Amino acid sequence: MDVLSSKQDSGWRNKRGEASLSDVHRSINISRSGSRWRRLAAFAGPGYLVAVGYMDPGNWATSLAGGSKFGYALLAVALLSNLMAIVLQSLCARLAIASGRDLAQACRDAFPKWVSIPLWALAEIAIIATDIAEVIGTAIGLNLIFGIPLELGVLITALDVFIILYLQKMGFRWVEAFIITLLGVIALCFAIQIFLADPQWGGVIRGFFPTTEIVTNPEMLYLALGILGATVMPHNLYLHSGIVQTRNYGHTLPEKKEALTFATIDSTVALCFALLINASILILAAAAFNSTGRTEVAELGEAHSLLAPLLGLAIAPTLFGIALLCCGLNSTVTATLAGQIVMEGFLKMKLQPWIRRLITRAIAIIPAAFVTIWYGDAGTAELLILTQVVLSLQLSFAVFPLVMFTASKAKMGELVAPIWLSAIAWLIAVVIAGLNVKLLVDFVAG
């Protein structure tokens, strides 16, 4: 262990243990002799894995519902959520590089077991909620493109573990390349659909400015929190703080400062790309559905079937299905990695990726299959939105520890977050918690 980390370990209850994802830990070398641009390029990748969580199938459901019902008004929530995400993900990179710990390990090493174990349970619930959304989204994508029944599609999603095994065997750079390629396909699909939808760009621009109705209208707040839960996702905080450490960035303070700069640039650029995709989903729903009086479109299958007659081109629904399937596959990879980081970090328990994946996927498949069989498309749409609200409610239990750790000089040493950054992060944490309390009050009040 380097000298810097030894000093910082004095701020933790427990000493740092073995790194999570140990098979890929510091496996990607950073050239010391290369140019600054080349070193920056070596850090590009983890941010795009994080960005996947900001455009998963659950996000589609909330964005479709928000766009069809309220037009462009919730674009402000997508923008605000993305700004929050940029701040929080930069803190994840800071925590990892300064302490050598991911967020799960940090919680284990900072808190007594009676605190860390419930935090682990909540993190697992968040990953299961994410997985339910992925199961449903992938199954709908298979149904839209290949006509596979939803019930069978839900079961087929269990086979995606082989994709992950194959990619991890080839190396972590191949995992990143797979993710970035699929993100490119998603972006192309939406670019074509937005062009066909021809939205009112004046309304789009106004939509990025928030209104008080978002908070005062319970139905709009519910969808806004769904978008928040789909954008700033708890498992992404654990994921980013783990996969940043796949880079072998050195141990000295200057090397760590440079690594933090490059990792922050990587995640910020990737999250701006994610905002474009999120906004595209909402803009497409507003332009294609809200403007034609279809204000209740929240089901992915219904949106798919309506696109062809509304946009006047048969390829539009196919593009929608391809993008949805790519989102499901991408989210599968990142949720698996996050699950490994959470289990290894909190419990020091190592499982083979395929075992961990099958356990999580089995837990997710049961409610997804039940809802699909008994309630069909309508039930899956409601379940998708519910998973995003569950994620939003779980978020504070990851955000508050993250902000607390990165603001601590004893834990972070010279890389402690500046006071201005900590102040913004605390404000974000309080806003998220406050919105969740309001959601619960409105829910209880009926």
For 139-154, write each residue's pLDDT tens digit. Answer: 888 888 888 888 888 8
- Cβ distance 143 to 398 under 8 Å? no
What average pLDDT does the segment 155-176 reach? Answer: 78
**In DSSP terms, which residues pair with 248 in a beta bridge?**
29
Cβ partners under 8 Å of residue 340, min gap 6 = 20, 21, 351, 353, 356
Q: Considering only CA atoms, give the Rg of the chain.
A: 21
Q: Give the pair of three-digit tokens for residue 166.
A: 């194959």
What average pLDDT does the segment 64-90 reach? Answer: 91
Instruction: Out of 172-176, 199-203, 294-298, give the one with best mean pLDDT.
Output: 199-203
**Picking from 62-71, 384-393, 420-429, which range would have the lowest pLDDT averaged per residue?**
384-393
**Picking from 125-139, 330-344, 372-386, which range would have the lowest pLDDT averaged per residue?**
372-386
pLDDT digits (tens, 9 = 90+) for 10-47: 689 888 878 778 888 888 888 777 788 888 988 999 99
Q: How far apart are CA 170 and CA 434, in angstroms?
A: 44
Handedness of CA 239, 38, 84, 410 (dihedral sign): positive
Q: How far apart are CA 214 and CA 224, in angstroms?
A: 7
Distance (Å) of CA 427 to CA 382, 404, 409: 31, 12, 19
Does residue 240 carry a pLDDT above 80? yes
Question: What are the two backbone dihedrals, phi and then psi, of residue 299, each rounded to the nearest 5 degrees?
Answer: -95, 135
pLDDT digits (tens, 9 = 90+) for 294-341: 777 766 777 777 776 767 667 878 888 888 888 888 887 788 888 889
What is the amino acid identity at position 172? F
Q: First CA to last CA across the chain, in angstroms? A: 55
232 band by pLDDT with thresholds 50, 70 and 90: confident
6 band by pLDDT with thresholds 50, 70 and 90: low
pLDDT of residue 1: 47
What average pLDDT does the segment 232-258 reach? Answer: 91
The CATH code that applies to domain 3-444 is: 1.20.1740.10
pLDDT of residue 89: 95
Q: Report DSSP letters for 333-375, one per residue.
A: HHHHHHHHHHHHHHH-----HHHHHHHHHHHHHHHHHHHHHHH
What average pLDDT does the segment 158-162 reach? Answer: 72
pLDDT of residue 237: 93
Q: Give the pair of three-digit tokens for residue 282.
A: 């909402």
Does residue 114 carry a pLDDT above 90? yes
Task: Report the C-alpha dihedral over residues 256, 258, 261, 265, rounded to 10 degrees.
Answer: -120
pLDDT of residue 231: 67
Q: How far apart are CA 161 and CA 326, in angstroms?
A: 15
Taking Cα atoms as reference points, which of 45, 47, 52, 46 lies closest to residue 332?
Answer: 52
